[in-house]
Amino acid sequence: MKSTFKIALGGVMAAFCIVLMLLTAIVPIGSFALPCIAGLILLMVSYEVGISWAILIYAAVAIMSLLFVADKEAALLFTMFLGYYPILKEFLDKKIRNKALNCIVKFAVFNVCAVSGFFIGVYLLGIPKEGFEINGIYLPWLFLVIGEVAFFIYEICLSRIRVIYLTGFRDRIFHRIK
């Protein structure tokens, strides 16, 4: 594949991801949904031009999101997990064939990212700890368990979207380019 195609596709997809991240300030549910969609775009990039290009685009979008996106929580979600995880999932699925070990590694990655994201958000970005309280009860562990359930659902959705993309949409989108 020509490098001009890779550069053009990378630029367009990075711009699309940035637009999605900027929309998080406008769309109410966008703080969670739009970073997920931006990560799915990077999954598509990893299939079309390779994992190394997808990682470069992720880094560019993550840096620009942290600098320019008004919704810092969404930028942190994208940077800490949702941006690179679809790329990492593909890598882990290819390298770790044992399903139980694969699942353990994925949940370990999620837990490390969730806990470190919590501390970065609270201590570096100044997200108030009161946001993790319900009726005066501090519940970050409950939020972590809810996050693990959401991660499990996200993992299933990523697998299914990957199959839909590879079997249906990939040829329709890129049939004239290749």
**Predicted confidence (pLDDT) per residue in 118-145, tens digit:** 888 788 877 777 777 777 777 788 888 8
The closest of 45, 63, 62 to 54, measured between CA atoms, is 45
Under 8 Å between Cβ of 62 and 35: no
11: how many CB neighbours lie within 10 A of its CB?
12
The Cα–Cα gap between 92 and 112 comes to 16
Single pTM value for the model: 0.84
Percent of all residues in the chain with a pLDDT value above 90, rounded to a whole number? 49
Provide the CA 57 distance to its chain's centre, in angstroms.
12
pLDDT in tens, 16-50: 999 999 999 998 788 889 999 999 999 889 888 88
